[in-house]
């Protein structure tokens, strides 16, 4: 049996945690803008750190305030996707990140999103985060960070982080697919 979060008023939309998630999505614009000018590297670093901290903060605030909502459970991964998608697309277009990673990241996200929406529309389950997905997001962010900021002493870390992120993204995708299949199987019983 899955461990479910207690939802105080799951239909609530306007919460501090949801606002924090939305800020993360909006941060994609100034991050990409500052990436265009290497002289703005310290501002880029600050904005990325704010985005990273907001990803940890929104869930913590939601749980502490007892305001875990359906909207928040959707907007948090969407905000992650918007921020990572925007930055990685810029890095791919500037030749800093391999295009195969970008394409895989998009396809994986849309596959999971389509299955989650399908299941949600059939009132079968609500997609919940798994630890593989959290680690995959964290290592993806690390990979993006290492492609933005050069560390001459660790040149191998750039691609190693992309390969590790890809592996974790595959594992988390398999976990989400298993969760989806099990929910379909359980609803047919």
Put simply, whether the predicted model's pTM sits higher than 0.85 gets the answer no
Q: How confident is the model at residue 1 (pLDDT cuts 50, 70, 90)?
A: very low
Secondary structure (DSSP) of the chain: ---PPP-SSTT----HHHHHHHHHHHTHHHHHHHHT-GGGHHHHHHHHHHHHHHHHHHHHHHHHTT---HHHHHHHHHHHHHHHHHHHHHHHHTTSS-HHHHHHHHHHHHHHHHHHHHHHHTTS------HHHHHHHHHHHHHHHHHHS--TT-THHHHHHHHHHHHHHHHHHHHHHHHHHHHHHHHH-
- The per-residue pLDDT for 55 is 86
Least confident range from 47-51, 58-62, 116-120, 139-143: namely 116-120
């Amino acid at each position: 049996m899955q461990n479910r979060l207690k939802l105080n008023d799951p239909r609530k939309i306007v919460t501090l945690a949801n606002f924090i998630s939305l800020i993360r999505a909006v941060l994609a614009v100034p991050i990409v803008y500052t990436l265009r000018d290497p002289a703005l590297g310290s501002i880029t670093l600050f904005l990325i750190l704010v985005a990273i901290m907001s990803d940890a903060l929104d869930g913590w605030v939601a749980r502490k305030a007892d305001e875990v909502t359906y909207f928040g459970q959707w907007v948090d991964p969407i905000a992650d996707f918007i921020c990572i998608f925007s930055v990685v697309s810029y890095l791919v277009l500037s030749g800093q990140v391999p295009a195969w990673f970008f394409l895989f990241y998009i396809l994986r996200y849309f596959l999971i999103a389509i299955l989650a929406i399908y299941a949600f529309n059939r009132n079968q389950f609500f997609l919940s985060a798994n630890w593989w997905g959290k680690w995959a997001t964290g290592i993806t962010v690390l990979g993006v960070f290492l492609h933005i900021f050069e560390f001459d002493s660790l040149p191998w870390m750039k691609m190693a982080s992309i390969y590790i992120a890809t592996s974790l993204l595959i594992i988390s995708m398999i976990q989400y697919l298993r969760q989806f299949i099990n929910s379909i199987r359980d609803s047919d019983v």
